[in-house]
């Protein structure tokens, strides 16, 4: 199963960041 992604809109453009849930704990 693919990791969830977060799309960030910044002044440098739109960046899609892959969230590595196996490394980063759920901070929600």
Per residue in 1-28, pLDDT tens?
A: 566 788 888 898 988 887 666 665 665 5
Instruction: Please say whether the dihedral angle defined by the alpha carbons of residues 5, 16, 10 and 21, taken in this order, is positive or negative.
Output: positive
| pTM for this model (two decimals) | 0.40
Nearest Cα residue to 19 out of 7, 9, 5: 5
- Per-residue pLDDT at 27: 59
Phi, psi (degrees; rounded to nearest 5) at 22: -80, -10
Contact in structure between 21 and 5 (CB atoms under 8 Å): no
Reported in sequence order, the residue ranges of the chain that DSSP labels E, i.e. its strands, are 5-10, 13-18
In angstroms and rounded to an integer, the radius of gyration of the C-alpha atoms of the chain is: 11
């Amino acid at each position: 199963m693919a990791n969830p992604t977060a799309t960030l809109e910044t002044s440098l453009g739109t960046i899609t960041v892959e969230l590595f849930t196996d490394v980063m704990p759920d901070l929600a």
